[in-house]
Structure 1
Amino acid sequence: MATAIWNDDTTDDKTGFWQSGHTPTLIAAFLYFDFAFMVWVLLGPLAPEIAKTLMLTPAEKGLMVATPTLAGAILRVVNGLLVDRIGPKKSGAISQIIVIVGLFVAWAMGVNSFGGTLALGVILGFAGASFAIALPLASRWYPPEHQGKAMGLAGMGNSGTVLAALFAPGLAKLFGWNAVLGLACIPLTLVFVAYMMMAKDAPNAPAPKSLGQYLTPLKTADAWSLMGFYAVTFGGFVGLAASLPIYFTDRFGLTTIQAGYCTAACVFAGSLVRPMGGALADAIGGVKALTAVFVVAALALAGVSLAGSVEAALALFVCAMLALG
């Protein structure tokens, strides 16, 4: 029904966005990305309860929530190569199966050690690597003038981190944190079914490149600079999304549910302004926009160190996430 309405809005413009691509694939890419991001940061909202059960040290808690992020960064390269060889739909299906099976096994067998949390974190890294699959899956259907919109809509799936922060602590309180791993398989399975029904690889996909060709951009200084900037901005966003539940519970003694709500507010703010950031970059240029982002984020995070109340810390973290998102 939604597709019909969108098409009706552009019936007089055959080159319009909704007419130029494949809407079911775009929706499938968004759903895949959204729920993949939800489970990618799942260990963050569960970290306070996991730490109590397994008696983890602060360093172990930090490594536990960092492992999915690190694994996701590495696996994005693997998924990118896979997409060019077997297509994004098959690549996404393989990745989703690995995550669903991994979570199911973790729930069925139980995660009883620090090493077990790290192993689960590596599996969840496949969810974080969905970035390299969902975006080409959606954008390849659209001409250059509409690819930005397609990637923006599919990329809004990073809002899935809000779902983890909102619901994981409450479900953990009701059923136990290990049960949340099994419960997460339910929406993931539903999304997988929808994905297989709706997603379709675009025709005329680019031919796979040799490994040497993939490494060519690394010869330019700008590529390294942009990777560094991205590591700070998006890496900071994801890192805070996973770590804030620990911060709010340890620093201010909030319950895991309260910490989840605070984290969800921060993450939602960052996700909401992403399209606005693109518009700002178009208006004043990427360099000026990025400079403003770094200044605001740095001042806000510096202010957190001086915050004496949860309200002040929350406001400053929201500002930081608005910039990093």
Structure 2
Amino acid sequence: MNTVDTATAPDIDARRGLNLALATWVSAINFWAWNMIGPLSTTYAGDLSLSSTQASMLVATPILVGALGRIVVGSLTDRFGGRAMFIAVSVSSIVPVLAVGFAGSIGSYPLLLLFGFFLGIAGTIFAVGIPFANHWYEPARRGFATGVFGMGMVGTALSAFFTPRFVRWFGLLPTHLIIAVALAVTAVLCLVLMRDSPHFTPNTDPVVPKLKAAAKLAVTWEMSFLYAVVFGGFVAFANYLPTYIKTIYHFSAVDAGARTAGFAVAAVLARPVGGALADRIPPKYVVLASFAGTAAMAFVAIFQPPPDLWSAATFIALALFLGIGTGGVFAWVALRAPAQSVGSVTGIVAAAGGLGGYFPPLVMGATYDSVDSDYTIGLALLVATALAAFAFTALRLHAHEPRRRKGTA
């Protein structure tokens, strides 16, 4: 991938700063759309008399589609550029958002599942932003750039906090209309203000061969496994935590949403920290710290620390470790992925992260002990997974020194 030459582009800092900010905004709005069902899942479960498994399916379906769709969207970004794909994903998400609102307003579980499937389109936005940010920034700052873009995950926090309140203030269907309008405005902003990096070169190779080539790279599957744990853990909790909090601590949907928003904000703020750290020390050590902390906090959560101080401290610490890990993993991808395959590799890795978020809500729902009202098995499985990822990273993966800025040793 070509690096940015500041000598021939004196205004490059302002241009790339604007484009990174726009990309982060687009991500935030699409993540909000992607997470429209999660904050309302307890409301749907009560109104529609859903079982724990049915409610988990409702939460998990958009996650699955958002994950798998990233594989194709990442390759299309290599070909058409981030600007075109940001617009395409935002526009394509408008109808599913409205359809989910309609299905919820008439109380149809089958339609919620069906339209929730298409709502997953919004979740593919992540596979657009990583290659887009990589093209705008030199290698020494790509950890920072991808970390800042990753702060678009704040959309999940916005959704967790505001969606239940909007429903209470305006009604279910008007709330979805508001997000649909936000998506449309976002697409217009991209059309008017956003530009691809001058160093972006379209990769016009057919999508399938590009994906096959990316699938043959060891880095693709190594990073996919790591990202499935850290980003999957974030997505799973950001979507399922309202149900968990209401079940264990008996908070209302609005209060559970506020606490979930705190979890999401902590992970969002930690992500650029993880990316920036990985610009300065080998990403391996950032990721190892993330897995160790995740395992420790998930273990503490098994004992159901009392609200609000101790439970909040436990889950916010968990969010911080997961957020640092997401930033560290993608900084590692930026160091190791071949230049012309960043979008394809990113698409597969991002899909793995989404898939990592698909299964935990189903597991949590299936293993929930309604007699003792606990999620011990699901949380214990998270501890085991994080420890396995720690061992794999420590024993099988080599530390890669971060690329240094010009003029540094």
TM bin (shorter chain): 0.7 to 0.9
> 2: distance between equivalents of 1:78 and 1:241?
24
Residue equivalent to 2:266: 269
Q: Is the counterpart of residue 124 in structure 1 residue 122 in structure 2?
A: no
What is the aligned counterpart of 2:169 among 165, 174, 198? 174
Size of the aligned set, in residue pairs, is 314
Superposed displacement of residue 133, structure 1: 1.5
| d(CA) in 2 for partners of 1:282, 1:135 | 16
**1:212-262 CA-partner distances (Å, limit 9, x unpaired):** 343234334443222111001011101100110111111111011111111
1:260 and 2:257 matched: yes
Q: Is structure 2 residue 295 aligned with structure 1 residue 321?
A: no
| 2:344 aligned residue | none
- Alignment pair present for 1:74 and 2:86: no
Q: Name the CA distance, whole Å, in 2 between partners of 1:228 and 1:145.
A: 24
Matched, 1:206 2:202: yes
Q: Is the 8 A contact 1:46 1:177 kept in 2?
A: no
The residue identity in structure 2 corresponding to 1:100 is: I
**1:155-180 superposed Cα distances (whole Å, 9 cap, x missing partner):** 22111111111111112223343442
Note the C-alpha offset of 1:264.
Answer: 1.0
Q: Say if 1:226 and 1:215 are closer, same or farther in 2 by CA, change over 3 A.
A: same
1:101 is displaced (CA, Å) by: 1.8
The equivalent residue for 2:26 is 32
Give, in angstroms, the shift of residue 17 of structure 1.
5.8
What secondary structure does 1:254 align onto?
coil
- In 1, distance between residues paired with 2:282 and 2:318? 21
What's the counterpart of residue 95 of structure 2?
101
Q: Pick one of 167, 181, 184 that aligns with 1:186.
A: 181
Identity score, percent: 31
Structure 2: segments with no counterpart, 5+ residues:
1-5, 324-409
Q: Which amino acid aligns with 2:172?
A: W
Shift of 1:56: 1.2
**Deviation per residue, 1:99-125 (Å, 9 max, x gap):** 112222343564532222222222221
Question: Does 1:84 pair with 2:81?
Answer: no
Q: Aligned partners of 1:233 and 1:160: how far apart in 2?
A: 18
What is residue 6 of structure 1 aligned with on the other side? none
CA distance in 2, matches of 1:68, 1:179: 21
Q: 1:250 to 1:176 in 2, by over 3 A?
A: farther
AA aligned opposite 2:121: F
Question: In the alignment, residue 168 of structure 2 is paired with which amino acid?
Answer: K
Tell me what 1:225 maps to: 222
> Is contact 2:96–2:116 with CA below 8 Å preserved after alignment?
no
Q: What is the TM-score with the length of structure 2 in the denominator?
A: 0.70
Q: Is the 8 A contact 2:147 2:275 kept in 1?
A: no
Answer whether contact 1:49 1:177 (CA < 8 A) is retained.
no
Give the conservation status (yes or no) of the 8 Å contact 2:89–2:121.
yes
CA distance in 1, matches of 2:142, 2:153: 18
Asked whether the equivalents of residues 106 and 120 of structure 1 are also in contact (C-alpha less than 8 Å), the reply is yes
CA contact (8 A) 1:102 1:120 kept: yes
SS of residue matched to 2:136: coil
The secondary structure found in structure 2 opposite 1:310 is coil
Alignment of 1:35-74 (within 5 A): 35-74=29-68
Q: Does 1:244 align with 2:220?
A: no
d(CA) in 2 for partners of 1:97 and 1:321?
30
Verify the 8 A CA contact 1:44 1:243 in the aligned structure 2.
Answer: yes
Q: State whether residues 129 and 149 of structure 2, in contact with CA within 8 Å, keep that contact through their aligned partners in structure 1.
A: yes
Change (3 A) 1:293 1:26: closer
State how far apart, in whole Å, the 1-side matches of 2:281 and 2:135 are: 28
User: Aligned partners of 2:129 and 2:95: how far apart in 1?
Assistant: 20
Counterpart of 2:326? none
Partner of 1:5 in structure 2? none
Distance in structure 1 (CA, Å) of the matches to 2:92 and 2:210: 29
Instruction: Classify the secondary structure of the residue corresponding to 1:237.
Output: helix
Q: Give the corresponding residue for 2:287.
A: 290
Question: How far did 1:47 drift?
Answer: 0.8
- Tell me how far 1:46 sits from its aligned partner: 1.0
Q: Distance in 2 between matches of 1:162 and 1:86?
A: 30
Q: Please name the residue that 1:8 is paired with.
A: none
Cα shift readout 1:179-201 (whole Å, capped 9, x = no counterpart): 42222223222222212211123
SS in 1 for 2:93: helix
The answer to whether 1:305 aligns with 2:287 is no
Question: Match of 1:3?
Answer: none
Is contact 1:237–1:321 with CA below 8 Å preserved after alignment? yes
Assess, with a 3 A threshold, how the Cα gap between structure 1 residues 50 and 201 changes in structure 2: closer, same or farther.
Answer: same
Secondary structure of the 1:200 match is: coil
